[in-house]
Amino acid sequence: MQTPGWIRGVVLVAFGVVAGIAVDRGWTHAVTIAAAQQTPPSQPQGQGRRNALPTMEQLPAEVAQLKALVPSNSHIMMDVQFHWTNLYFAGRRKNWPLAQYFYNETRNHIEWLIRKSPTTRGPDGKDVDLKGIWEGIDTSSLAMVKAAIEKQDAAQFAATYKTMLESCYACHKSAGRPYLRPMLPQANTMPILNFDTTATWPQ
């Protein structure tokens, strides 16, 4: 006895629904397992996910924390002093590639300070335009030091280095810090680095 066509159709539809549900549940379970395996473990409570972006409510605290990590002006200027001192001895030894390196480091660190603090409070309580002062120095005294290095002219280097120190002091006085009086370096601050252009070790 043959099964009527409509019964076969109902059976096929029912089978298809059951199979579809089974496949869907199996696929969802597999995806859930895969996602769980790829998701990094949660951070301890209160710390949040490592890569999670702060909410608008958390943003002020995040900004304050980042500002607390920014070095002070005096810290940056200690770096400037370090590189500018080494520049002096590199120039005296006529090690011009090394002099160019320390010149670049000096200028980059001053630029860093200016980006951080384009103005500072002067002795009269008014803002001092450090950015404007720096732009004048960068295109005059400091540019002359660069030219001496490029010409590999030791005499010109010595003269322009001293002129640049005078410009530095003029900036210090403008910022209300006349007690920061520079002088020609007395000692090399990097004794582990060989400034001798004829050095043969290490190779």
Q: What is the pLDDT along the chain (203 residues), one digit of tens a residue?
A: 454 554 454 444 444 444 444 444 444 444 444 444 544 444 455 555 567 888 999 888 888 888 788 899 999 999 999 999 999 999 999 999 999 999 999 999 999 999 999 999 998 999 999 999 999 999 999 999 999 999 999 999 999 999 999 999 999 999 999 999 999 999 999 999 999 999 999 99
pTM of the predicted protein model = 0.72
pLDDT at 66: 83
- CA 145 from chain centre, in angstroms, equals 26
pLDDT at 64: 83
Task: Dihedral sign for Cα 18, 24, 27, 32, please.
Answer: negative
pLDDT at 154: 98
Report all structural domains of the chain as residue ranges with CATH numbers, in order of start: 68-174 (1.20.120.290)
Q: What are phi and psi of 123, to 5 degrees?
A: -65, -20
Task: Dihedral sign for Cα 122, 124, 126, 128, please.
Answer: negative
pLDDT at 32: 46
pLDDT at 28: 45
pLDDT at 50: 63
Q: Do residues 134 and 103 make contact, with C-beta atoms less than 8 angstroms apart?
A: no
Long-range contacts, 134-142 (Cβ 8 Å, 24+): 134/110, 134/171, 137/164, 137/167, 137/168, 137/171, 138/107, 138/110, 140/167, 141/166, 141/167, 142/107, 142/167
Quick one: which H or E segment has residue 120? strand 119-121
